[in-house]
Structure 1
Amino acid sequence: MALTKFGFIVTGDNFVQPQGTEKFSMKVIGISHPSEGIAAAQELVADGIQLIELCGGFSPVWAGRIIEAIDYAVPVGVVAYGPESIDKMHALFLA
């Protein structure tokens, strides 16, 4: 089965942005705190999303909670940053 429905959850502000073509659709959900990622992921799974990606603002703990909350229904990946980016990432999320 080909990937036709992709979901992305990003921390920052609350919004929902669907987009795509006839062959591929993507739904981006913005949330203000990683704890809201559980409901967002459940919504994506209910919408038939086949793959979920979490932004780098999610810790491994929150990623695990989300994966468990959707009962492993679809693969969940997490954007990762190397050690050279940690200080700059930290500053972004404290602003």
Structure 2
Amino acid sequence: MALTHWAFIYTAPGLSSDGHRTVVDEGGARTVLVGVPAPSDGPAVARELVAEGVQLIELCGGFGPVWTAKIIEAVDGGVPVGAVGYGPEAVDQVHAIFAT
């Protein structure tokens, strides 16, 4: 089966908790970008995306391993979930960006 519909969820303070959506649809490939204000909003958005038919979800590095695991649990194996990871050389810089 070809990948034709996937989503990327990212965090950005100030966004609506139901998710700011941008859709890129090029006919054969549909990408849904969803911004949420906090990682805790991710599980609900992920469940909605699965219900809408996405085949795969990727998460920005701001979710970290704890919220990534919670989102994997929330979709209950419905689709694969992956997360952006950063190497040790970037940890301090990433922490500074996402620290609240």
What TM-score results when the alignment is normalised by the length of structure 1? 0.95
Structure 2: tracts of 5 or more residues without a match: none
Residue identity opposite 2:12 in structure 1? G
* Separation of aligned partners in 1, 2:94 and 2:44: 24
Alignment match, 1:42: 47
Alignment match, 1:53: 58
| Displacement after TM superposition at 1:20 (Å) | 1.9
Residues 1-95 of structure 1: pairs in structure 2 closer than 5 A: 1-13=1-13, 14=15, 15-94=20-99
**Identity across aligned pairs (percent)?**
51
Deviations 1:12-70 (A, max 9, x none): 14211111211000001100110100011011101100000000001211111111111
Structure 1: tracts of 5 or more residues without a match: none
| Displacement after TM superposition at 1:94 (Å) | 2.5
Where 1:17 maps in the other structure, the secondary structure is: strand
Please give the root-mean-square deviation of Cα atoms over the aligned residues, in Å: 1.1
| Matched positions, count | 95
Where 2:61 maps in the other structure, the secondary structure is: coil
What TM-score results when the alignment is normalised by the length of structure 2? 0.90
Residue identity opposite 1:54 in structure 2? L
Worse overlay, 10-19 or 79-88: 10-19
